[in-house]
Structure 1
Amino acid sequence: SSVHYRIKRLEEEGIIKGYHAIVDPVKLGYDILAVSFIRSRYDPKSYERLSKALPKIPGIWAVYFLMGDTDYVVLIRAKNRSDLNRIVYELISMKDIERSDTRIVIERLKEDIAVPMD
């Protein structure tokens, strides 16, 4: 069918990278969503070290490298405040991080991973 052909073509072109179940993190006990804005130290190797280290920290859900005053935005999923404290402490203990500003999300207004395919 034409739908099957289109899906196969999108997979071959790398547009469809895989298939995943969408789970509700809150129902799995991850009640806290936090966003951490990170400024790294100015060091030529800092980017390389942080880009490898940040994604490995348990509880870090996503890491984005930015242009501008903030170098990284890190999304954190935590089960409780103690769990969040552990993650934030691990962040601020890293020698390549100059400053970290972590905010707790109080309400999810939209959270959608779908990409429009016009």
Structure 2
Amino acid sequence: MDEKDIRILSAIARDGTASPEKIEDATGIPKSTVHYRLNQLRESGVITNDLYDLDLEKVGISITLISEIWAEFEEGYHETVGEKLASVEGVNQVYFTMGDTDFIVIAHVTSREMVESLVEDYEAISEIERTSSKFAIKTVKDEQNPLNDFDVETLIEELAD
């Protein structure tokens, strides 16, 4: 990736669009170049899909559940337990972590009943020793695209060839 690619990716993250015209307006990079670069970024796997962000609260999925999971240690457990956690209905993100907690699991659900069902599903996994779940009372920041958390110049400095 070079500076143009990073500017294009930052515009996509910031504006939520992959429209070459809108990216040209945001970056000053000619539309034909944007179109070519978008195709290259797709072919290389950097861009994997078209994103449509949703307001989960308006959809009715207003509870964010953050769960810490402790599991039995054995060789490869991070993969097998991680895959089992990821397959639980309602689970959006699974992270294998270092430290006291083995996994952090994020789920967005509609009700307390769904929370209870999710925790039961976690605890039904034989390798799970213990869980601790928390409700998010208020979302302070929920940036869907980490590129938006950096200044474009920082990204260019850190990522450009």
TM-score, L = length of structure 1: 0.89
Question: Residues 3-58 of structure 1, C-alpha deviation per residue, up to 9 Å, x if partnerless?
Answer: 11221221122111111211122112112101001111122253332122111111
Segments of structure 2 that go 5 or more residues without pairing to the other structure are 1-31, 148-154, 157-161
2:133 is matched with which residue? 102
Letter in 1 for 2:109: A
Task: Give the partner amino acid of 2:100.
Answer: D
CA distance in 2, matches of 1:114, 1:53: 26
CA contact (8 A) 2:84 2:125 kept: no
Give the alignment partner of residue 94 of structure 2, picking from 41, 63, 67.
63
Larger radius of gyration: 2
**What is the CA RMSD across the aligned residues, in angstroms?**
1.5
Identity %: 29
Structure 1 outlier segments of 4+, above 4 Å: none
| In structure 2, distance between residues paired with 1:12 and 1:68 | 37
Cα pair 2:61 2:110 within 8 Å, conserved: yes
Contact 2:70 2:101 in 1 (8 A): yes
Aligned length: 118
Tell me the TM-score normalised to structure 2 length: 0.67
Aligned match of 1:114: 145
Q: What are structure 1's unaligned runs of at least 5 residues?
A: none
More moved, 79-88 vs 64-73: 64-73
Higher strand fraction (1 or 2): 1
Of 40-49 and 23-32, more deviation after overlay is shown by 40-49
Deviation, structure 1 residue 80: 0.5
Shift in Å, 1:115: 3.5
The alignment partner of 2:64 has SS state of strand
Once the two structures are superposed, the pairs formed by residues 45-56 of structure 1 within 5 Å of their partners are 45-56=76-87
Which residue of the partner structure matches residue 75 of structure 1?
106
Distance 1:8 1:99 in 2: 46
- SS of 1:51 mapped into structure 2: helix
Are positions 1:9 and 2:35 aligned together?
no
